[in-house]
Amino acid sequence: MLKSGKVKLLLLLDEAQRLGKYTPPHHAHRVSIHLDAIHNGKIAGCPVMPAVAGLSATKRAFKDMGVSRFRDNCYVELGPLKPEAERKVIKGWLKLEGRAKGDPTPWIDAIMQKTHVWPQHVAAYAESAAIHLRATGRELTPEKLQVVLGIGEMKRIKFYKSRADGIMRRERQCIVRAMANVETDGTIYKDMVIASLQEEFSAEKTEEVFALALGNGIFDLQGDSYVILIPSMRRWFIDNYFIQRDPPNTLSSSLNSRVDFAI
């Protein structure tokens, strides 16, 4: 059927930033062959339209796989919603999906206090609201809102935890020590993270962990800088993994003090 040319194939690919050097070696060659075939129109008789989603490192990942050209109108960089857009999206979930009765404004305001215009968070809270409303009646009561906010919070934390998949606790602690020094604009420099990791790990392991953190979306590449996109995610990592290191010589000074006391 595909070879007849009568059927068009839509290829959907998510988390595409994991391509390239994040692709397991035994899959990389096969992926490269398929991407090259699609990119250069080598699939005869079957129109293929790829729709790819990923973090900003996706463009570089495709370059690693041999795909270097993107049409300007086919490459779209998404960021946080504008407040008015966020409000409309939440209202749509409540009224259209949840079939809510009455004025949804208090619920919208409460959810926006948690989501801060980030689409992943908006989906977590607003979808939970729609499901809960359909299951319990459509009234927008304060009691139901508190349940929804609790469910949304659990989903948000699950999202943060997923960003650390494959990164061990000690590795997370090293990354977070670098995060703690990030400026308010979210910019973080690779050498800051590398230096923190190299305090406990080899150079090879350090590069491996940094690449995994980038592929998971703890960091994102924007232009010539790395950023931590979501401030609340940075806060969660710091709250859960930050360990204050003693200043240099503190330990020896403490030991000397104990010896003097013992004498």
Please state the domain extents for the chain: 9-74, 83-163, 169-241
pLDDT at 210: 93
Q: Using the predicted structure, report yes or no on whether residue 258 has a pLDDT greater than 90.
A: no
pLDDT at 254: 39
pLDDT at 246: 56
Q: Which of 2-16, 115-129, 182-196, 242-256 has the lowest mean pLDDT?
A: 242-256
The Cα–Cα gap between 115 and 156 comes to: 9
Sign of dihedral through CA atoms 149, 150, 154, 155?
A: negative
Q: Using the predicted structure, report yes or no on whether residue 259 has a pLDDT greater than 60.
A: no
Shortest CA distance to 114 belongs to which of 86, 73, 77?
86
Q: Using the predicted structure, report yes or no on whether residue 253 has a pLDDT greater than 50.
A: no
Digit-coded pLDDT (tens) for 107-154: 999 999 999 888 889 999 999 999 999 999 999 999 999 999 999 999
Residue 57 · residue 220 · CB < 8 Å = yes
pLDDT at 14: 85
Digit-coded pLDDT (tens) for 50-92: 888 887 778 777 877 777 677 777 777 777 899 999 999 999 9
pLDDT at 19: 78
Mean pLDDT of 33-49: 75
Mean pLDDT of 231-251: 77
Q: Considering the chain, what percentage of its residues have pLDDT values greater than 70? A: 86
pTM across the whole model? 0.71
- Side chain identity at residue 5, one-letter code: G
Domain 169-241 is of which CATH architecture?
Orthogonal Bundle (1.10)
The conformational region for residue 186 under phi > 0 = left, psi -120 to 50 = alpha, else beta, is left
Shortest CA distance to 159 belongs to which of 83, 218, 241, 79?
218
Q: How confident is the model at residue 4 (pLDDT cuts 50, 70, 90)?
A: low
